[in-house]
């Protein structure tokens, strides 16, 4: 089967296409920027964005929204990850974490899938910690400060895609689609 992924991020599309192939699902790219409503809940934001898009795109599609959550900072930057990355960046997060012992962090990805009638959500999460310095030159965003099993995502290269939050959310969506057998 074929499903459309609405995103302006080519990296996200490539990852989805690669994982889709393993599930026998063809991922079609609709390159498009869309309005993301502000809010405190990633799931609500993704769901609302998909509902707004569904008024224009009449066929089934999905979008993906993700964020970095740091419990010691009460979940910051969470749904504001994109803005925080663009403003204070990785250096800023490291400064905020200065002297904090509890360095646990997780990435959360929410996929909102419009099936032609309703919007369904699927989530993926990966747990790790905030490194004490920037390490690695691969990946994007917070990858150089997010440590998983002793390495930052930016040091892991393609291996990141085997464990990432996005991978887990995509697998949840693709398993669901395969069960529908449409």
Q: Of the residues 41, 65, 115, 158, which is catalytic?
A: 65
Residue 164 CA to residue 16 CA, distance in Å, equals: 12
Residue 152 binds ligand IMP, judged by CB under 6 A: no
Residues 6+ apart with CB under 8 A from 110: 42, 43, 45, 46, 64, 65, 66, 121, 122, 123, 169
CB of 142 to ligand IMP, least distance (A): 4
What CA–CA distances, in Å, run from 44 to 51, 134, 172?
10, 31, 18
In the bound state with ligand IMP, the residue whose beta carbon lies nearer, of 61 and 85, is 85
As beta bridge partners, residue 3 has: 27
115 is known as an active-site residue: no
Between residue 45 and residue 64, which ones bind ligand IMP under the rule CB under 6 A? none
In the complex, least distance from residue 70 CB atom to ligand IMP, rounded to whole angstroms? 12
Of 13, 27, 65, 121, which lies in the binding site for ligand IMP, with binding defined by CB under 6 A? 65
Query: Is residue 141 at the binding interface for ligand IMP, with CB under 6 A as the rule?
Result: yes
Helices (H) and strands (E) in the chain, counts: 7, 7
Residues of this chain that interact with ligand IMP (CB under 6 A) are 9, 65-68, 81-82, 85, 107, 139-143, 153, 164, 166
């Amino acid at each position: 089967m074929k499903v459309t992924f609405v995103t302006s991020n080519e990296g996200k599309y490539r990852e989805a296409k690669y994982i889709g192939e393993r599930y026998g699902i063809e991922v079609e790219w609709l390159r498009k920027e869309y309005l993301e409503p502000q809010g405190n809940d990633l799931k609500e934001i993704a769901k609302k964005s998909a509902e707004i898009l569904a008024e224009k795109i009449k066929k089934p599609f999905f979008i993906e929204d993700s964020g970095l959550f740091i419990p010691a900072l009460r979940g910051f930057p969470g749904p504001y990850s994109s803005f925080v990355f663009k403003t204070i960046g990785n250096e800023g997060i490291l400064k905020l974490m200065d002297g904090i012992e509890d360095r646990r962090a997780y990435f959360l990805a929410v996929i909102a899938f419009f099936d032609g009638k309703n919007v369904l959500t699927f989530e993926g999460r990966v747990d790790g910690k905030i490194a004490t310095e920037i390490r690695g030159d691969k990946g994007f965003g917070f990858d150089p400060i997010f440590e998983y099993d002793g390495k930052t995502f930016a040091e892991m290269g393609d291996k990141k895609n085997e464990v990432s939050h996005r991978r887990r959310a995509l697998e949840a969506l693709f398993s669901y689609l395969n069960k529908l057998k449409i």
